[in-house]
Amino acid sequence: MGWAIALHGGAGDIPLSLTLGSRWPREEALHHCLQIGVEALKAKKPPLDVVELVVRELENIPQFNAGKGSVLTNKGTVEMEASIMDGRTKNCGAVSGLKTVVNAVSLARLVMEKTPHVYLAFHGAEEFAKEQGVETADSSHFITAENVERLKQAKEAHRVQIDYTQPLQNGTKEETSNSNGEVQLGTVGCVAVDSYGNLASATSTGGLVNKRVGRIGDSPIIGAGTYANELCAVSVTGEGEAILRAAVARDVAAMMEFKGVSLEEAASYVIHDCMPKGTAGLVAVSATGEVAMPYNTTGMFRACATEDGYSEVAIWSAS
């Protein structure tokens, strides 16, 4: 028992040849966000506050695909989405199609706490944001040069990219400036449990590079990208469409509940046995303070810490 926290900055085909210039800011960011989460847990903040706080930090970091630094739609705009869930009450909130809201995860929380609904999207969500007086900014705040470049490449390659997808193998690899291991970005998320066993989860993203305007992925879908109940809290990242059809986040909890397996086993089974290779990763914590961070992609930006002093920041496997 004891508190535990885990967070991610996205799973995908993160090349092992990633340059230090690309690794360093992201690892730094993961350390920083982990620290913030740990301090909050030590200060006995409720897990719901902790995950919101950490995801806000991740959203503000331009190197990750959420909030500032979100990848772009096929029209060169940002459309951000997020969800949050309180394991204790199973209350949840979600938003999609945000263009100006600086912290999508906080708006998701407001939907949960200040409306009779669970999920608001597009212009309705933006109106709600105005009513609530949350911080907004125009698109220049969110759009980064890297993402403009990523979109250009995706259009040239005529495809929709999970932010981590490597350039196509058939020659375009050399042509694209990003091919020397430049990191693609990822959905962000955080899960936490306090020493009383209260759990919470939150996920936030800009979605897929070159996605159709209006496309919704797994991150705002309760049960797919985010889930928390009295057993565990889960935040998922990877290929949205695959995660949606497998209801990944819920499945981890379902396996624990119905099969009586541990968090580690449930999470590992769902990622390695149920999901096609290269499509997903997740972070999860259980009511008893366990942590699991499996992924079936090349790598996953992640970090975790537990009350007994253990902590880890990583991208690939230890070996």
Partner 1 sequence: MGGWAIAVHGGAGVDPNLPPQRQEEAKQLLARCLNLGISSLHSNASAIDVVELVVRELETDPLFNSGRGSALTENGTVEMEASIMDGPKRRCGAVSGLTTVKNPISLARLVMDKSPHSYLAFSGAEDFARLQGVEVVENEYFITPENVGMLKLAKEANTILFDYRIPTNGYDTCGAGVESPMKMNGLPISVYAPETVGCVVVDKEGRCAAATSTGGLMNKMTGRIGDSPLIGAGTYACELCGVSCTGEGEAIIRGTLAREVAAVMEYKGLGLQEAVDFVIKNRLDEGFAGLIAVSNKGEVAYGFNCNGMFRGCATEDGFMEVGIWE
Which residues make up the interface to partner 1 (CB under 8 A)? Answer: 85, 90-92, 94, 96-97, 112-113, 115-128, 160, 211-217, 221-224, 227, 240-241, 244-247, 250-251, 254-255, 258-259
* 243 labelled ligand-binding: no
Least separation in angstroms between residue 262's CB and partner 1 is 15
SS3 sequence, 235-294? EEEECHHHHHHHCHHHHHHHHHHHHCCCHHHHHHHHHHHHCCCCCEEEEEEECCCCEECC
- Going by C-alpha positions, the residue among 157, 187, 139 that lies closest to residue 297 is 187
| 18/120 with CB nearer partner 1 | 120
* 23 labelled ligand-binding: no
* 61 labelled ligand-binding: no
| 34/125 with CB nearer partner 1 | 125
Residue 249's contacts (CB-CB under 8 Å, 6 or more residues apart) are 201, 222, 223, 224, 225, 226, 227, 234, 235, 236, 282
Task: Determine which one of 73, 165, 176, 187 is catalytic.
Answer: 187
Enter the DSSP assignment of 15. Answer: -
| 117/272 with CB nearer partner 1 | 117
Element containing residue 133 per DSSP (H, E): none
End-to-end CA distance of the chain: 28
Least separation in angstroms between residue 214's CB and partner 1 is 1
Please compute, for residue 8, the number of CA atoms within 13 A of its CA located in the half-sphere on the CB side: 36
* 14 labelled ligand-binding: no
* 215 labelled ligand-binding: yes
Distance CA(219)–CA(207), nearest Å, equals 8
Least separation in angstroms between residue 20's CB and partner 1 is 34
Residue with tokens 């125009």: 138
| 16/258 with CB nearer partner 1 | 258
* 237 labelled ligand-binding: yes
Distance CA(19)–CA(181), nearest Å, equals 6
| 207/281 with CB nearer partner 1 | 207
Residue 187 annotated in active site: yes
Distance CA(94)–CA(23), nearest Å, equals 30
Least separation in angstroms between residue 121's CB and partner 1 is 5
Least separation in angstroms between residue 245's CB and partner 1 is 4
Question: Which residue ranges are tagged as binding site?
Answer: 215-218, 237-240
The catalytic site residues sit at 187
Q: Which residue ranges are tagged as binding site for substrate? A: 215-218, 237-240
